[in-house]
């Protein structure tokens, strides 16, 4: 089969590989679409300790079950050959403290398809049967492949809680920022400011009902403070994760408000800790999604409640290197690139 193999910083190649075969409790999925994620861009550059080359990345995918390993149906009776599925790529032990309370994403032995094992940038991928979710009636495979990033935003929305009538700020209008914007609207936010350097990305946020800010042209913190009687917003989300956006989201948050840190661009960095302390700002990390968030995300896509259309681009797997470079160097008017093996 054909696979896009990441072989080192800024180096991917199409390689012929042996077909994988599903072990006990696993399924073989013929990949229809596999999205490129921001975390894979940093990995592509060699900035991600989790991913070691050579590796077939790809953890946002949908496809068709073409073979079932021993007892796979015992683990997931909904599956048979031909079932169209999306895969929750984050699997866990299932019995530790975190798994028992539904926080499987915090499990110490969690594993990600496309990082710990070969992922969806290939014609076929093997995944645990328990992690495969049949697509709802009528959902396209291309839409199904968006479930993973939508689940990330659903998690942020869950942490944000009820935002009835509040004003909020999202730093970053990449795919996660655009989906978080929608998740905050669904939580009742009256206004969502969205900041991003790229005009194409601001245009997408605007089309989704965000009020956009160009950090090079306006003072983001001052603008959102002016919009909130000088107080600052109740909730901010950093969907970028660099020192500037971490500082900005803290400064833009009102006393006693909450900052949700989602973007992982920089591992460490200086934040204005004393300001957060003196103004009793709550800083919350948000990582990935629970299994419940993942199922919720699939439901929202089915209802048309979350979208990245019309900014989803489909490209042949062999163009993966081109798109990885482009998304790193000069992201344009595409919110999500789906590779087609």
User: What residues make contact with Zn ion under the rule CB under 5 A?
Assistant: 37, 92-93, 96, 99, 107
Shortest Cβ 184–Zn ion spacing (Å): 19
Q: Looking at beta carbons only, is 103 or 211 nearer to Zn ion? A: 103
Shortest Cβ 52–Zn ion spacing (Å): 18
| Separation in Å, CA 225 to CA 139, 193, 194, 220, 221 | 41, 11, 14, 9, 6
Are 43 and 50 in contact, with CB atoms under 8 Å apart? Answer: yes
Shortest Cβ 102–Zn ion spacing (Å): 11
**Coil, helix or strand at residue 319:** helix
Q: Helices (DSSP H) in the chain: which residue ranges? A: 38-44, 72-75, 97-100, 141-144, 147-160, 175-186, 199-207, 220-226, 243-252, 273-278, 291-302, 320-329
Q: Looking at beta carbons only, is 173 or 221 nearer to Zn ion? A: 173
Q: Looking at beta carbons only, is 252 or 301 nearer to Zn ion? A: 301
Residue 34 burial by Cβ neighbours in a 10 Å radius (0-12, 13-18, 19+): buried
Give dist(CA 66, CA 68) in Å, integer. 7
Q: Looking at beta carbons only, is 43 or 99 nearer to Zn ion? A: 99
Q: Looking at beta carbons only, is 175 or 210 nearer to Zn ion? A: 175
Shortest Cβ 253–Zn ion spacing (Å): 26
Q: Looking at beta carbons only, is 92 or 290 nearer to Zn ion? A: 92
Shortest Cβ 149–Zn ion spacing (Å): 5
Give dist(CA 266, CA 270) in Å, integer. 10
Shortest Cβ 137–Zn ion spacing (Å): 25
Are 166 and 233 in contact, with CB atoms under 8 Å apart? Answer: yes
| Separation in Å, CA 163 to CA 41, 192, 287 | 32, 11, 20
């Amino acid at each position: 089969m054909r696979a896009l193999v990441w072989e080192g910083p800024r180096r991917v190649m199409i390689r012929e590989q042996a077909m994988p075969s599903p072990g006990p409790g696993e399924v073989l999925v013929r990949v229809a679409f596999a999205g490129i994620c921001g975390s894979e861009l940093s990995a592509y550059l060699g900035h991600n300790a989790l991913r070691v080359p050579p590796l077939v990345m790809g953890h946002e995918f949908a496809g068709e079950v073409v073979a079932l390993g021993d007892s796979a149906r015992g683990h997931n009776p909904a599956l048979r050959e031909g079932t169209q599925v999306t895969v929750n790529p984050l699997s866990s032990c299932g019995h530790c403290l975190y798994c028992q309370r539904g926080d499987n994403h915090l499990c110490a032995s969690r594993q990600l398809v496309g990082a710990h094992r070969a992922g969806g940038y290939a014609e076929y991928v093997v995944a645990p049967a328990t992690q495969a979710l049949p697509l709802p009636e009528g959902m396209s495979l291309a839409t199904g492949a968006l479930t993973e990033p939508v689940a990330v935003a659903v998690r942020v929305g869950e942490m944000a809680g009820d935002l009835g009538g509040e004003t909020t700020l999202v730093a970053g209008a990449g795919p996660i920022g655009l989906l978080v914007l929608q998740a905050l609207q669904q939580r009742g936010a009256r206004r969502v400011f969205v900041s991003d350097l790229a005009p194409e990305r601001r245009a997408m946020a605007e089309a989704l009902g965000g009020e956009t800010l160009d950090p090079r042209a306006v003072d983001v913190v001052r603008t959102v403070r002016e919009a909130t009687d000088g107080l600052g917003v109740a909730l901010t989300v950093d969907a970028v994760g660099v020192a500037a956006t971490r500082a900005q989201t803290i400064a833009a948050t009102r006393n006693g408000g909450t900052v949700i840190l989602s973007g992982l661009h920089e591992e460490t960095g200086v934040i204005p800790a004393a300001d957060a302390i003196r103004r009793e700002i709550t800083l919350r990390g948000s990582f990935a999604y629970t299994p419940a968030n993942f199922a919720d995300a699939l439901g929202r896509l089915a209802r048309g409640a979350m979208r990245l259309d019309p900014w989803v681009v489909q490209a042949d797997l062999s163009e993966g290197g081109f798109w990885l470079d482009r998304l790193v160097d000069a992201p344009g008017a595409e919110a999500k690139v789906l590779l087609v093996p």
